[in-house]
Amino acid sequence: MEIPGNVSLYCPLVDAKGTAAILVAVDPHGYYQLEVLIKGNRHTMFVPIGQAALCFTDPEPEREDAFEIER
């Protein structure tokens, strides 16, 4: 996960259903700081982490077959 990163925002609080945004930061007080284009202008938006889902638009690189996760 790289910040800043292009994401799709899903958040019923702001009626976002796959809205394109840029994740700028994850605030320690429990908010995502995003930049969203609204009517051609860039706006900063803070959405609560507990009420939002983000999907990074860039796919993750392929993992090697020998890659193991330690548990």
| pLDDT tens digits, 6-52 | 999 999 998 899 999 999 999 999 999 999 998 999 999 999 999 99
State how far the Cα of 1 lies from the Cα of 17, in Å rounded to an integer.
21
* pTM, entire model: 0.78
What would the DSSP string read from start to end of the chain?
--SSEEEEEEEGGGTEEEEEEEEEEEETTTEEEEEEEETTEEEEEEEEGGG-EEEESSPPPPPPTT-----
